[in-house]
Chain A
Amino acid sequence: MNYFIVTLNDQTVRLACNNSKVIIEALHGISFVESSFSNQEIEIIISIETSDDNLNWSINDQYQNKKLSGYTLGDLAYNLSDCLVFHFADKIKDAFCIHAGAVAFDNKAFLIVGESGAGKSTFTAWLVSQGATYLTDELSIIDKYGLVTGLSRPIQIKWHGTDTAFALVDSKDNLIPGSKVSGIPISAFSKKSISDTDKQYQLSGVIFINYQKLADYQLTKLSSAEAGIKIMQNYVNARNIDKFGFTDLMSLIQNMPAYHLQYSTFSDCETLPEFFNL
């Protein structure tokens, strides 16, 4: 067995896997260290096993009492990162966890929020292809001062978005293909920039996206109340925080530029990177 400790925002999750190469590929971009601790010394929260030919995998998430299995690296990476998202969102008690993508331009961070299927990950991939620093496509963590970090897993693209998203990358060699979800590691972009753990990114805006086939491009400024209510719908660890963190989170959002973006093609969005530079 090989052992790993995944870290995010001072929280850790312990993994065990019989194949370190597979797990290193699946965790690409996520902050982790290999560890020499043994099963007897520290409780393993997530165990991963792969078959000898690496074609099949299974995950046993003891924290959620959940077992998963599949047969592609892409699906393993997706399901494993999904388990990690659950763990961190459940454990983090000193910062706001928002179900949102996040990128940064210089040290300014922007949240990318949208309902399931709205295109968060593909839009995040597009912004990275335009030179943004990648923070996360799924779980953004904001401290009370508005500093943003995120779970920097490979950008996860559902099967119906792969044609669009894969066209954005410069090197297809590193893609992590799956049957339902495929991963784009940040190394696939020539303008790649992944968040530096020592660098602090200040929350500077929120964009609520909605991809719709054939829709007209619309970028609409939202009131702070409209932005606040949408953020609350994606705020996943409220019960961990004193008084649900409501007042503090809304105070951060209150003075933040917030927009709703409807689009159907990225060619409509070409001026957006300038907008993000504010």
Chain B
Amino acid sequence: MEKHTFYRPAENCIRQEMGDDVLLFNPETTSTIHLNQTADLIWQLCKDNSIETLIEGLQTQYPDQSEQIKKDVLETVDSLVQQQVLTLIETKPS
């Protein structure tokens, strides 16, 4: 049985595009983090998608980078959790 893992972006974060990158201000922690385009995409897609769905979607678009995509997404999610802008909310079977 496949599982689906959902994360929630931290509430009230203020997102600001700065050139090619993005800064995210978290009022809860009063900290600002710097997201590259990939991290920004993942942070935004986490709002409505499980991590597994997100990885699958990206792998469909870039089939030749399948393993790398999975590794990059998981590492990015881990980093965003550590920086307190993503929170694990639930893991459930599909």
Contacts and interface: CB of A to CB of B under 8 A. Distances in A.
A binds B: yes
Interface of A: 223-226, 228-229, 232-233, 238-239, 243-244, 246-247, 250-251, 253-254
A225 B14 contact: no
> 9 closest A-B pairs (Cβ-Cβ)?
A225-B21, A225-B18, A232-B32, A224-B18, A246-B25, A224-B19, A250-B16, A246-B14, A229-B34
Nearest to A243: B14
B30 to A, nearest CB: 6
Contacts of A251: 16
Contacts of A223: 18-21
Contact of B30 (A229, A238, A253): A238
B14 A244 contact: yes
Given A226-B34, A238-B30, A232 B25 contact: yes
Interface of B: 14, 16, 18-23, 25, 27, 30, 32-34
A250 B30 contact: no
Given A225-B22, A225-B23, A246 B16 contact: yes
Contacts of B23: 225, 228-229, 232, 250
A62 B23 CA distance: 38
A225 B25 contact: no
A225 B19 contact: yes
Nearest to A233: B32
A61 to B, nearest CB: 24
Given A225-B22, A229-B32, A243-B14, 18 more contacts: A223-B18, A223-B21, A224-B21, A225-B20, A225-B34, A226-B34, A228-B16, A228-B23, A229-B23, A232-B32, A238-B30, A239-B30, A244-B25, A244-B30, A247-B16, A250-B16, A250-B18, A250-B23
B54 to A, nearest CB: 23
Contacts of A254: 18-19
